């Protein structure tokens, strides 16, 4: 990967999945830097698809040990719009949405804000299940994590 302005460029691809919503859920994340890749996945017994989408991005960011230029690619408009459009209003309004109701998944949004702070993060949306290789792989990782958890339980 190129280094510009002394920041290493990192790509994070992420996806979440749920078997039922709510229900058992999983996430899959791929980190790519300097030609190397690392895959992450995990699962939760009772969660939502949106929580798994946020968790996938969060777990990717948590892997970074120094400031980077990061592109996060996801098929979740909820995640992209939340981080690029809705967040300032939520924070300004005391974590209330446009209907004056508490923002769902506030704990994960706040964790994403903190995890993003040291980095220059660009959020990129791709259409899900449309043949994007890394998005498809993340979906597979998420679904395999759900299956593995269900076998253990």
| Annotated binding-site members for Mg(2+) | 15, 53, 75, 139
Say whether 107 is catalytic: no
Q: Which of 11, 16, 26, 59 is catalytic?
A: 16
Binding site, residues? 15, 53, 75, 139
Q: Which of 53, 59, 82, 134 is catalytic?
A: 53
Distance CA(71)–CA(5), nearest Å, equals 16
Q: Which of 11, 59, 134, 139 is catalytic?
A: 139
Is residue 24 within 8 A of residue 46, CB to CB? The reply is: yes
Say whether 139 is catalytic: yes
The pairing of beta strand 3-4 with beta strand 36-47: unpaired
Say whether 25 is catalytic: no
Q: Which of 11, 59, 60, 75 is catalytic?
A: 75
Say whether 53 is catalytic: yes
User: In whole angstroms, how far apart are CA 101 and each of 84, 97, 98, 124, 150?
Assistant: 20, 5, 7, 27, 34
Is 48 in a helix, a strand, or coil? coil
Q: Which of 15, 26, 59, 134 is catalytic?
A: 15
Q: What are the structure tokens assigned to 84, written together? A: 């690029």
The catalytic residue positions are: 15-16, 53, 75, 129, 139
């Amino acid at each position: 990967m190129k280094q510009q302005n002394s920041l290493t460029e990192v790509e994070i691809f992420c996806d979440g999945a749920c078997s039922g919503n709510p229900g058992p859920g999983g996430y899959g994340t791929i980190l790519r830097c300097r030609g190397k890749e690392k895959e992450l996945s995990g699962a939760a017994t009772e969660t939502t698809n949106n929580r798994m989408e946020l968790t996938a991005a969060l777990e990717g960011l948590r892997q970074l040990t120094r400031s980077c230029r990061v592109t996060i690619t996801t098929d979740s408009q909820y995640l992209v719009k939340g981080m690029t459009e809705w967040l300032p209003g939520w924070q300004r309004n005391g974590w209330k949405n446009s209907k004056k109701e508490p923002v769902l998944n506030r704990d994960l949004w706040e964790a994403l804000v903190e995890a993003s702070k040291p980095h220059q993060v660009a959020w990129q949306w791709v259409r899900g299940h449309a043949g994007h290789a890394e998005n498809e792989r993340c979906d597979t990782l998420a679904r395999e994590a759900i299956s593995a958890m269900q076998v253990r339980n």
